[in-house]
Amino acid sequence: MHILKIPHTLSEFTQTYYYKTELIELCRQYKLPTSGTKAELNSYITKYLKGIPSSQIKTIRNNRKRHSLQYSEINLDTKLINSGFCFNNAARQWFANYFGVEKFSFSKKMAIIKRKAEAEHDTEITVGDLIHQMESWNQNKTALSDEERTYQWNNFIRDFFKDQTTTQYRQRLKVASILWKKVRMSKKDKVYHHDLLKKYDNKIQEYKIN
């Protein structure tokens, strides 16, 4: 049975990769908000370990709703993640005008693409990329369920953090994300192995600790 180790310092926390369920349990232990994305949960715990009392750490999900993008703020270059973009009426109107239809309905494939980007921390994907992926949708490539794809990412990132060599990098999660995107787009198995650090050194060397 896996026993969750409770970190007592920010350093202990940042040197370990946690599944979302584990982050929720940590938040529960620290008496922090337990709802939100992984990034939000990480933010709560980071603030707490920096010395901010749990009573002063409030959920940020409600604030995000107030800052959802309006129709005039959406374009092909709009980022899907961390921009305020969501599948609301403003986005529905924008897609209807883009495709030249009177009514537009969000599809399951759109939700899958966005959830996958969130799971992989792909902050570069845009509305234009979403449309491209929708139009080139390939059932063979999407045969895996969204849950199975998340497991692939989780296994990749956990193996990455187990590799002690990766401690030479700042923003290790960012480095792992860069490598994951390369692996995901290749025809090889979607797993982490040490050789990736050398193969894509030119993409991640800027994150090396001097």
pLDDT in tens, 1-38: 557 888 888 888 877 778 888 888 999 999 999 887 77
Nearest to 67 by CA among 50, 86, 48: 86
- Name which residue leads in pLDDT, 145 or 188: 188
**How many residues are present in the chain?**
210
Assign 197 a pLDDT band (cuts: 50, 70, 90): very high
Nearest to 20 by CA among 59, 161, 4, 53: 4
Quote the tokens at residue 202.
Answer: 């030119």
Q: Which residues pair with 79 in a beta bridge?
A: 126
What region does 100 belong to: left with phi over 0, alpha with psi -120 to 50, or beta? left
C-beta of residue 120 within 8 angstroms of C-beta of residue 177: yes
One-letter amino acid identity for 16? T
